[in-house]
Amino acid sequence: MAFYKISLVRTLLYVCVMQSLAFGLVSATEEKDIAFWNSVYKENHVVQIHISANREAWDAMQPKKVERNPDGPKVHFGNKFGYAKANITIDGEVFKDAGLRFKGNSSYRFAGRSLKKPFKIDTNRFIKGQKFHGRTKINLSNAFLDSAFMKEKLGYEIYRAAGIPTPDVGWAAVTLTVEGVTEKKHLGVYCLIEQVDDRYLTRKFGKNSKDSLLMKPEAVDDWEYFGSELEKYQRYGIKYGKNNTKLIKRFSELLKLIEHGSKTEFEKQIGNRLDLNFFAGYLAATSILVNIDSYVGMPHNYYLMIDKANEKLRILPWDLNETFGTFTMGRSPEMLVKWDIDKPLISKRRLSERLFEMESFRKRYRAIIVKLMKEDFIEEKLFKRISAFEKAIIPHIKKDEIGKGLPGMYMGINGDSSGVNKAVGRRVFAIKPFIRQRIASVNDQLAGKAEGEKIQGRRKRPR
C-alpha cells in the first residue's frame, strides 16, 4: 500500500510539473532543479560533497575573536564567521572559488579540535551566478549531540505538521582536503538544511510574501520595544528588508503593544498584528519536542518575519539539533520528558505570557497539541520514518559508528538499557526512548492523569 501511495504522489508531481512546462511556468532547467531537490529532501538521496581549500583560506576562516582553551577555540555567542574561497565538488560538479565559512555556536565550539565542524557553502559568494540546481547556499550541520543524524529532519516534520512551513532537510557525505592539514578526510554524514532567505519565503509562503521583513535575533532575549527610532530595530538581526520602513514600523508597533498595551488593547489588537495560529503551532511543536534551545528558552535559533502579504508577525524554527530534550539546562532526561505542556516557557517571554492569559489562545494552542498527538507525534509513524532514514544514512557511516551495541548511530536511536544515548557527552535520551516517554507524558497530561514538570529559569551550572 505504501508503494502505491508513493507512486501516486510521484505521478501527481510529474503531472503538475508537465502542466507547468506546457503553460510555460517552469523551464526544463527548473524542472531538473526541482527533481534534484525532491530527490534530496523527499527521497533521501545523500549528496556527496568534497571541500578543498588551501592553507591560507583555511586560516582566514578561523574566528578572529577567540579565547584559547584546552578544548580548542572558544567562540563568543553570536560570533560571525568570515567567508574564504574554496573549491567545492557537489555530486561531481565542481564549483571553483565558492564561498566557505563555519557556522553555529555550540555546534562549532564543542567540535573542539575536530575537523568536523558545521559549514555554510555559498557558491555565489565570489563568482556571481554560480548556482547548484538553482540554489546558492547550502547549510551543513555536524549533528552536534545527535549521533543518529535525525533530529533536524524529524523535528521540522513536527513543526510542519503544526502548520509551520519549515526548511527541508536531507543529508550529505562530506570529505575535506586542506593543504598541509589533511587529504580527502572523511568527515562523515552531515545534515543538509535548506537556506532561509528571501527566495525561501516566496517558495514557502507564496509570491505575495516576496520582500517580507526577515529577522534572525541573536542578542535580544525577551523582545524589547526601542521606541520610534527605526534604526534601533537593526538589533533584531534584519536579514532582508533593512530599508523597509513600513514593515519595520509595523514590527515596532507590535512590540509596543506587547510591552505597554493594556489588557483590553492587547486582546483587541494582537490578532491583527500576530498570526495567532502560526504562533500557537510553533509553541505546540516546541513543547512536544522539548525544544528549549529556541525562542522559549534562549535568545536565538529562530527567525521572525513580518509577512508583506498581511503585515502579521510569524516565527520560524531553526537549528533543531538539540530538540528531543537534548538542551537540558541542567535537568535530567527523566524530568525533561515530562515537561508541562500547559505553558511551554523557560525564560521570561512577555508575549507568550500575555497570550496564555487569553482563553481563546489557550484553546487554540491545546487544539494543535491534541491534533499532533493524534495524527503526527505517534510511535508508529515516527518509527517508520526513523527506519527509512536509517536505510539512507547507514551506507555513508563508518561501520564502527553503527555496530550493534557500540556508540554511534544506533546508540542515538535506541540508547542503552535505560534509553540513554551514551555516544554523546551529555546525559540525554536517545530518540526512540524519548518519543515513547514523551508520548506517554503528554497524553497523560491531556487526560488529566498527571501534571507536567515545571522548568523555569536558567541554572548557572554547565548544561
Per-residue pLDDT at 405 exceeds 90: no
Let me know whether 64 and 133 are in one domain.
Answer: yes
Nine cell digits for residue 105: 555556536
Let me know whether 17 and 153 are in one domain.
Answer: no
How confident is the model at residue 365, as a pLDDT? Answer: 98
Per-residue pLDDT at 44 exceeds 90: yes
| Domain's final residue, options 152, 167, 196 | 196
User: pTM (2 decimals)?
Assistant: 0.90
Give buried/exposed letters for 86-115 (b at 16+ CB in 10 A, else e).
Answer: bbbebeeeebebbbbbbbbbbbbbbbeeee
Percent of the chain with pLDDT strictly greater than 70: 88
pLDDT tens, residue by residue, 318-328: 999 999 999 99
Average pLDDT over residues 246-263: 98
Let me know whether 165 and 107 are in one domain.
Answer: yes
State residue 187 phi and psi, 5-degree precision: -80, -25
- Band of the pLDDT at 25, cuts 50, 70, 90? low
How confident is the model at residue 217, as a pLDDT? Answer: 95
CA–CA gap between residue 244 and residue 176 (Å, rounded): 41
Nine cell digits for residue 257: 503593544
Would residue 18 count as lying in a domain? yes
Nine cell digits for residue 74: 572558544
Q: Is residue 28 packed enough to be buried (19+ CB in 10 Å), middle (13-18) or exposed (0-12)?
A: exposed
Let me know whether 88 and 165 are in one domain.
Answer: yes
- Residue 329 · residue 346 · CB < 8 Å: yes
Percent of the chain with pLDDT strictly greater than 90: 83
Would residue 216 count as lying in a domain? no
Per-residue pLDDT at 459 exceeds 50: no
- Band of the pLDDT at 463, cuts 50, 70, 90? very low
Let me know whether 39 and 162 are in one domain.
Answer: no
Per-residue pLDDT at 64 exceeds 80: no
Nine cell digits for residue 288: 512536544
Identify the weakest region by mean pLDDT among 116-130, 397-411, 413-427: 397-411
Nine cell digits for residue 59: 586560516
Q: What is the CA radius of gyration of the chain?
A: 22
Let me know whether 12 and 71 are in one domain.
Answer: no
Amino acid at 335: M
Mean pLDDT in the chain? 90
Per-residue pLDDT at 72 exceeds 50: no
How confident is the model at residue 77, as a pLDDT? Answer: 47
- Residue 131 · residue 123 · CB < 8 Å: yes
How confident is the model at residue 284, as a pLDDT? Answer: 98
Let me know whether 106 and 170 are in one domain.
Answer: yes
Average pLDDT over residues 191-199: 96
Average pLDDT over residues 329-358: 96
E strands of 194-325, at which residues?
213-215, 238-240, 302-306, 313-317
Average pLDDT over residues 393-406: 76
For residue 20, how many other CB atoms are within 10 A of its CB?
A: 15
Would residue 396 count as lying in a domain? no
- Band of the pLDDT at 105, cuts 50, 70, 90? confident
pLDDT tens, residue by residue, 204-241: 999 999 999 999 998 788 999 999 999 999 999 999 99
Nine cell digits for residue 277: 495560529
Identify the weakest region by mean pLDDT among 12-16, 28-32, 54-58: 12-16
Let me know whether 1 and 111 are in one domain.
Answer: no
Let me know whether 72 and 104 are in one domain.
Answer: yes
Place of cell 533521501: 44
| Domain's final residue, options 165, 196, 227 | 196
Let me know whether 59 and 36 are in one domain.
Answer: no
Give buried/exposed letters for 293-328 (b at 16+ CB in 10 A, else e).
Answer: bbbbbbbbbbbbbbbbeebbbbbbbbbbbbbbbbbb
Residues in CB range of 248: below 8 A, 6 or more apart: 213, 230, 233, 238, 241, 306
- Band of the pLDDT at 85, cuts 50, 70, 90? very high
Q: Label residue 408 left, alpha or beta by phi (over 0 means left) and psi (-120 to 50 means alpha).
A: left
Per-residue pLDDT at 1 exceeds 80: no
19 lies in which domain range? 1-43
CA–CA gap between residue 179 and residue 193 (Å, rounded): 27
Identify the weakest region by mean pLDDT among 104-108, 169-173, 363-367, 413-417: 104-108
How confident is the model at residue 264, as a pLDDT? Answer: 98
Per-residue pLDDT at 20 exceeds 70: no
CA–CA gap between residue 323 and residue 289 (Å, rounded): 6
Q: Is residue 366 packed enough to be buried (19+ CB in 10 Å), middle (13-18) or exposed (0-12)?
A: middle
- Band of the pLDDT at 246, cuts 50, 70, 90? very high
Query: Based on the structure, what is the number of domains in the chain?
Result: 2
Would residue 38 count as lying in a domain? yes
Let me know whether 187 and 54 are in one domain.
Answer: yes
Would residue 140 count as lying in a domain? yes
Place of cell 510591552: 259
Per-residue pLDDT at 78 exceeds 60: no
Per-residue pLDDT at 180 exceeds 50: yes
Distances (CA, A) of 178 to 41, 104, 190, 462: 29, 21, 18, 34
pLDDT tens, residue by residue, 126-176: 999 999 999 999 999 999 999 999 999 999 999 999 999 999 999 999 999
Asked whether the CA dihedral 365, 208, 202, 85 is positive or negative, the reply is negative
CA–CA gap between residue 286 and residue 444 (Å, rounded): 18
Would residue 39 count as lying in a domain? yes
Average pLDDT over residues 176-195: 97
Average pLDDT over residues 75-100: 87
Per-residue pLDDT at 4 exceeds 90: no
Give the pairing type, strands 169-178 and 46-53.
parallel
Per-residue pLDDT at 5 exceeds 80: no
Per-residue pLDDT at 341 exceeds 90: yes
Let me know whether 124 and 59 are in one domain.
Answer: yes
Would residue 104 count as lying in a domain? yes
| Domain's final residue, options 196, 222, 250 | 196
Would residue 127 count as lying in a domain? yes
Per-residue pLDDT at 69 exceeds 80: no
